[in-house]
Structure 1
Amino acid sequence: MIMGYPILFHLSFLFASLFILLISFSTIEVVNGGFSVNLIRINSTNVAHLLDTVQSPIIADDGVHIIEMSLGNPPTKYYGLMDTGSDLVWSQCLPCDDCFPQKYPYFDPKKSSTYTNVYCQEHECNQLEEKNKGCSSNNQCSYTYSYADSSITQGELALDTITLESSSGGVIPLQYMIFGCGHKNSGIFDNKMMGIVGLGRGSLSLISQIGPSFGGRRFSHCFIPYSNDNNLPSIMSFGSGSEVVGDGVVSTPLITKQSKPFYYVTLKGISVGDTYLSLHSSSKGNMIIDSGTTLTVLPQKLYDQLVDEVKKQVPLQHITDDPEFADRLCYRSTNLQDPILTTHFEGADLQLKPIQTFYRLKVGVSCFAFRSTSNDAFGIYGNLVQTNYLIGFDLEREVVSFKATQCDIHQSLV
């Protein structure tokens, strides 16, 4: 998550990355087109048999999306902000010396039989960047992360079991998963969140940890628009079976840059109806796809052109008599039908309807889901414009694929 602009509140996070799963393959067996994998942690004899496509529910929540899984043994429910813009997976943990309020009990490491400390000399600790790494007086590996909005998490790096669901209705426990056990955490967090689930490209993200166990570092999600029933979950899938395929699929290449957590793609321009607006940039990887950012962020010149063209094509007068809306484009309507926008990525044109390009700021008011940045080097493709698309991230093939989908009825991959 880089910068957020939720419907009901502002988020502005900058998250770094850090996770690795110390596992090795024992056997892989093809079973009816699926697979079975034996996982063995280094220097361990514990084995888990993994079957079917791994899945997890995700729920829209006021400008962000929350992923549901379980942590520890016995498994306790964990709800984390889903973030393709960062790598660190962390949870608030007891003792909570300074934690933000959450509606669920704080995770208690003492109640998990599989919780394992990470010590300073161990390989897992060395995956942390020096600026984030510490060592306690009892030789335990500690971490500190500060974010752009002054949010912070501090705690100990640890190993424990994360349990996900399978497409057959069962559960899949994954042992020795590295995560941050946060004892001091503050920032702008909804009380339905217990931490962050980093899904970035770095070696320590959730997808990088579990990818080798499920046929590759691949995952897909389908976000339900916020105006729909927020209690209705959609499905996120991992590894084999998560590929986005079939009629109507378009793909754009991932661009590798120094900042490993981010999914860089190349935006060429945006159309408003039949009017094409060029980004006027030959730079590859000028947009970051980020599920933790709500609004789409564009360089100032393209943003200004886009707003001017939208004003021309929306058959309503935008709000000018209320200072609350002075810094954004808003209309006194929640049923806009025009305009249709198209984002033109390298190799992929994505058509966006008003339900994806406007959000309800308050009753009776819709606002444009884009904002500007003075940084001409890159922008951010936020989660509002990602709704009603099945989006697949394939780190093995280095592509992102899109398929227009009604996500509120999408409960399994087709």
Structure 2
Amino acid sequence: MAFMKTLLSLISLLSSALLLHATVEGPKTITLSLIHPFSPHSPFYPGNITDMEKITLLIQGTQARMHHLFSTMRERNWNGSSEVDDIVAPVQRSNLFYVAQVGIGSFSAFTGRKDMPYFLVIDTGSQLTWVQCEGCDPCIPLQQPNFPYNRSNSYKPIPCGDPTCPTPRQPCFESFCGFRIGYGGDSPPLTVGAIVRETLTFTSDFRGTEAYNNLFLGCGFKSYNYNFPPEKIGGILGLGFAGNFNLPFLNQVGKKRFSYCLSISEHPNSQLNIGEGAKMVGPKVLSTPLLRGSNEALYYLDLQDISIQNVPLRLQGSFSEGSAIDTGCPMTILVSNVYARVRIGFVQYFAQFHIQPFDSGSKPREVSLLDLCFPIPHGFNMFPTMTFHFRGADLVVQPTGILLAGSNYVCVALQSGSITMIGAYQQTQFKFSYDFELGDRTRGEIGALRFAPQNCGSPA
């Protein structure tokens, strides 16, 4: 069945574990090529694993993310924003990483290039970019040397108490401007270090390099409880909400928008753009406001209702806590009362074809962590869409962004939780642009999310 094959290939992506290989098209736009982690071209290629093992990674990653966000939502950092960092789920549970290769520092005698390249986890919920530095103890295990900051020609320390220190509410690290990033959970990953100024360089396969000088960079000297299995990840590239703060990467490089497109397949590349190239226009482009929420580093939307195959569930008023959108969350989480009604909607849809969900005793063993699964007769292809009705825009998710497939069954890729968050599984085959030059500030809008359907594996 063609649909089943498409779903099975999609499972490979739906860990949202895409590798970003950094390239730059020019001074106005930073362009990052998205490479699937299960591709043999990825440095994080896990070898041949089964579709069920990929499903398990997806489920466990979502559960860990949900636990992390809920358990740390009350924590605050130096700007009054939450200390939640999007990578906690993949760090602790699986290989669900967005990663960019970024050059750091300036080395006149460094063989082959002027900087040192590191893979940094892309984090849309963090305002701090940091790399593990030489002299760390304890350290995250790496297969390459930690960043030798003292040998970099562009390294500039910031003394403790200096008025340019972007983290004045954080304790100093020894005699320098300091940072402390905690990730929540029972045995939380934690990094402590100094804020410095450095040069970050994005390399291009076609047009050389683009360097950004004098940026704030965290130099990690103490890291606890991390579990990066490939031992190739050196730190974090923070793309969280910038606001008026000096620390976030977007503000430092002077960019007002970024966009990404998550491919349905692990073979073609797609892109993440930061800058002018992220602008979206056209008759098919829809727009909804970006809002602040309980976690000020995350991006929130005004979700008003949900439909299953064009049948509204009449959920108005059910999203009082808001709905975040997160590329790092493998699949969508719905607050428990909303999930219960969405579940009924799927059951009612399949009932018209005389298909009833598995009960707890008959559900396939390999998908025991998923709540709602249906046996699928041979040749059946009447699968539903799911529409998220945002203020001013409807995100119509096709069946390949909703269902996980086995040999003779499908499961709904949603989970119940304490928050509502649109995950990466439901974002595939759309291009999304986060544009902070748009939005009505008098109504509390921080920007606009623009989106349109797109084949993310082909140039756009």
Matched, 1:296 2:326: no
Contact persistence 2:16–2:327 (CA under 8 A)? no
Report which stretch shifted further, 99-108 or 294-303: 99-108
From 221, 226, 239, give the equivalent of 1:187.
226
Distance 1:384 1:321, change over 3 A: closer
- Contact 2:115 2:201 (C-alpha < 8 Å) held by counterparts: yes
> Which letter does structure 2 place at the counterpart of 1:401?
R
Which one has the bigger helix percentage? Answer: 2
Task: Name the one with the larger strand percent.
Answer: 1
Give 1:111 deviation, angstroms. Answer: 3.7
Counting aligned pairs with the same residue, the percent is 27
In the alignment, the residues of structure 2 paired with residue 152 and residue 348 of structure 1 have an alpha-carbon distance, to the nearest angstrom, of 39
SS of 1:409 mapped into structure 2: coil
SS class of match (1:241): helix
Indicate if the aligned counterparts of 1:266 and 1:285 stay in contact, CA closer than 8 A.
no
Cα deviations across residues 38-60 of structure 1 (Å, max 9, x unaligned)? xxxxxxxxxxxx73432122334
Alignment of 1:314-329 (within 5 A): 314=350, 317-318=357-358, 320=363, 322=365, 325-326=368-369, 328-329=371-372
For the 8 Å contact 1:201–1:395, the answer to whether it is kept is: no
Where does residue 220 of structure 1 map in the other structure?
259
Could you tell me how far apart the structure 2 residues matched to 1:7 and 1:380 are? 18
For the 8 Å contact 1:207–1:217, the answer to whether it is kept is: yes
Could you tell me how far apart the structure 2 residues matched to 1:399 and 1:52 are? Answer: 20
Quick check: 307-316 or 384-393, which moved more? 307-316
Q: Write the deviation string for residues 142-162 of structure 1: whole angstroms up to 9, x where unpaired.
A: 211111231211111111111
SS of equivalent residue, structure 1 residue 310 = helix
Residue 289 of structure 1, CA deviation? 1.5
Q: Does 2:393 align with 1:344?
A: no
Asked if the contact 2:134–2:145 (Cα under 8 Å) also holds between the matched residues in 1, the reply is no
- Where in structure 1 are there 5+ consecutive unaligned residues? 1-5, 12-49
Query: CA distance change for structure 1 residues 221 and 323 in 2, over 3 Å: closer, same or farther?
Result: closer
Match of 1:53 in 2: 29
Q: How does 1:8-407 map to 2 (within 5 A)?
A: 51-61=27-37, 62-73=95-106, 74-125=114-165, 127-128=166-167, 130=169, 133-137=170-174, 139-149=175-185, 150-165=188-203, 169-185=207-223, 186-191=225-230, 192-202=232-242, 203=245, 204-211=247-254, 216-225=255-264, 228-229=265-266, 232-257=268-293, 259-281=295-317, 286-314=322-350, 317-318=357-358, 320=363, 322=365, 325-326=368-369, 328-330=371-373, 338-359=383-404, 367-375=411-419, 379-397=420-438, 398-407=447-456
Aligned residues: 352
C-alpha displacement at 1:243, in angstroms?
A: 0.2
Moved more, 285-294 or 397-406: 285-294
Q: For residues 336 and 66 of structure 1, what CA distance do their matches in structure 2 show? A: 36
**Partner SS, residue 184 of structure 1:** strand
Q: Counterparts of 2:309 and 2:297 in 1: how far apart (Å)?
A: 34
Partners of 1:81 and 1:292 within 8 A in 2: no
Deviations 1:96-151 (A, max 9, x none): 312333444432223422122122122342x2262xx12234x2122111112312
Structure 2, unpaired ranges of 5+: 1-11, 18-25, 38-94, 107-113, 439-446
Evaluate the alpha carbon distance shift between residue 338 and residue 136 of structure 1 in structure 2; reply closer, same or farther with a 3 A threshold.
same
Counterpart-to-counterpart distance in 2, 1:383 and 1:313: 24
> 2:28 touches 2:275 (CA, 8 Å); kept in 1?
no
Is this contact kept in 2: 1:341–1:351, CA < 8 A?
A: yes
State the 1:75 CA deviation: 1.9
Q: Distance in 1 between matches of 2:426 and 2:14?
A: 17
Contact 1:7 1:359 in 2 (8 A): no
Deviation at 1:193, TM superposition (A): 2.8
Q: What TM-score does the superposition give when structure 2 sets the normalisation length?
A: 0.68
